[in-house]
């Protein structure tokens, strides 16, 4: 779905860098299936150093957060809902929008 959206928007996938805000996934086994669980705040905080280094190395012009965990990590998780955070633009002094 993301590849299709990028293509539709005219964005070259080779010009993008995709990563996860949380580097590991919690899950419950249900038979042969793994049901993913949402990360807790402590997981987001624990993964922050890796994400910060990635952002420094890649030095993106824009950061697009897909889903509540990365939105919560890119903005203060306690500042409000993911829906309100998703409408925010960061101050360029704080990093890419």
Residue 86 has pLDDT above 60, yes or no: no
Range 16-25 average pLDDT = 85
Within-domain flag for 93: no
The pLDDT of residue 39 is: 84
Least confident residue range of 56-60, 74-78, 83-87: 83-87
If one counts the domains in the chain, the total is: 1
Within-domain flag for 96: no
Per-residue pLDDT tens digits for 37-64: 888 888 888 888 888 888 889 988 888 8
Question: In which domain, by residue range, is 20 found?
Answer: 2-87
Residue 82 has pLDDT above 50, yes or no: no
Q: Which are the contacts of 50, defined by CB distance < 8 A and separation ≥ 6?
A: 23
The pLDDT of residue 96 is: 61
The pLDDT of residue 13 is: 84
Within-domain flag for 76: yes
Within-domain flag for 97: no
- Provide the mean pLDDT of the chain: 77
Within-domain flag for 94: no
Within-domain flag for 58: yes
Within-domain flag for 68: yes
91: confidence class by pLDDT, cuts 50, 70, 90: low
Beta-ladder partners of 28:
35
Within-domain flag for 45: yes
């Amino acid at each position: 779905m993301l590849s299709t959206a990028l293509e539709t928007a005219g964005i070259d996938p080779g010009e993008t860098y995709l990563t996860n805000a949380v580097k590991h996934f919690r899950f419950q086994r249900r038979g042969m299936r793994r049901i993913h669980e949402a990360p807790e705040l402590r997981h987001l905080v624990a993964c922050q150093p890796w994400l910060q280094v990635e952002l420094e190395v890649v030095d993106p012009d824009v950061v697009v957060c897909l889903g509540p965990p990365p939105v919560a990590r890119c903005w203060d998780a306690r500042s409000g809902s993911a829906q309100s955070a998703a409408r925010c633009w960061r101050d360029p002094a704080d990093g890419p929008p």
